[in-house]
Structure 1
Amino acid sequence: MIRKIFIVLLLTSSFANAQVELTPAKVAQITNQVDRLAIKYRDSVSKKFGEKVMSLDTEFKTDLYRVEKIADLKVAVDYSTAGMTAAIVDLNRDYDQLLNKYYGILLKKLKGEDQEKLKLAQRNWIKFRDSEILVITTVSKDQYSGGGTIQSNIMAGRISDLTKERLFTIKNHLNQFIE
């Protein structure tokens, strides 16, 4: 009898802590929750630096906070290997959107021929990124990495890091400007 009760309790606790499917409705709920948190975060950063108008630095920190918090909450809901990989892939997409946003801001701050230099650098970075992704996917093959489902997470994380690093490079260029 005690054994049956133990098994029932064990199964009940397993179901209580089971991951939930990350449905579009759940993603929308997470996004809405993070949007509210991002506003509080932005306000606390602005207040800390005594800003009356939000600075580009505060906007950047808030944007970064938002996309990373969404990824964290997605993983908290679906912490399977596939769920983590999907969250990292989405995070990379979000980093790429931020990269495009801040690249556009930097491009507008530059004049004619200097814009062309930035465009060339970005095209070259895209070629580098694409080449590096080929290397990342190659070394993630079972014959080199030893395999395992975790390789998808490692590969997605390394690809996401490429985009995040470029985003920070663009932001560092923006930091050079005197406002």
Structure 2
Amino acid sequence: MSATEQKEKHNDYQSDYQMIEDYGFNYQMWDGLLNEIYGVLQKQLPSSDMAALKVKQRQWIKDRDTAAQKRYDEEGGGSLSRVVQTEELAKQTKERCYELVNTYMK
């Protein structure tokens, strides 16, 4: 995961569009890694543990999306709203990657 962290984009931004692009890139990168981790867990965990994780994962997705929408709404719906929404998606997805690895891949 440290390799993924090194690929994150954090530039000196001249526009909201640049921030959206970078946070979108970071989000897609972490989401791809999250899917890889989840795929490994599907192969490694006993079926009962995987069934429980699937329920937790679905709830986590709902909670993540709700938090991102809340950040969007707090900004009032302008271009900066998309920035903070995408930033939240990236942040929470990154955190979830670490959580899954630290919890299930010991």
**TM-score, reference length from structure 1:** 0.51
Note if 1:62 corresponds to 2:7.
no
Match of 1:172 in 2: 102
How far has the Cα of 1:64 moved from its partner? Answer: 3.0
Distance in 1 of aligned mates of 2:48 and 2:105: 20
Q: Letter of the aligned partner of 2:93 in structure 1?
A: T
Q: What is the deviation of 1:63?
A: 3.1
Shift of 1:88: 0.7
Residue in structure 2 matching 1:101, options 36, 42, 50: 36
- Is the deviation greater in 80-89 or in 114-123? 80-89
One-letter amino acid of the counterpart of residue 135, structure 1: K
Alignment-derived partner of residue 19 in structure 2: 84
Question: Displacement of 1:92 after TM fit?
Answer: 0.6
Contact 2:68 2:86 in 1 (8 A): no
1:106–1:173 contact (8 Å) kept in structure 2: no
Report deviation, 1:156: 2.5
Q: Give me the whole-angstrom Cα distance separating, in 2, the residues matched to 1:88 and 1:115.
A: 30
Whole-angstrom distance in 2 between the partners of 1:111 and 1:170: 15
Confirm or deny that 1:157 pairs with 2:92. Answer: no
Structure 1 residue 80: deviation in Å? 2.6
Structure 1, unaligned runs of 5 or more:
1-59
Whether 1:119 aligns to 2:26 is: no
Q: Give the CA deviation at 1:110.
A: 0.4
TM-score (norm 2): 0.81
Letter of the 1:133 partner, please give it. A
CA RMSD of aligned residues (A): 2.2
Does the 8 Å contact 1:98/1:167 carry over to 2? yes
Q: Secondary structure at the match of 2:97?
A: helix
CA distance in structure 2 between the partners assigned to 1:113 and 1:174 by the alignment? 13
Q: Which runs of 5+ in 2 are unaligned?
A: none
Aligned length: 106
Larger C-alpha radius of gyration, 1 or 2? 1
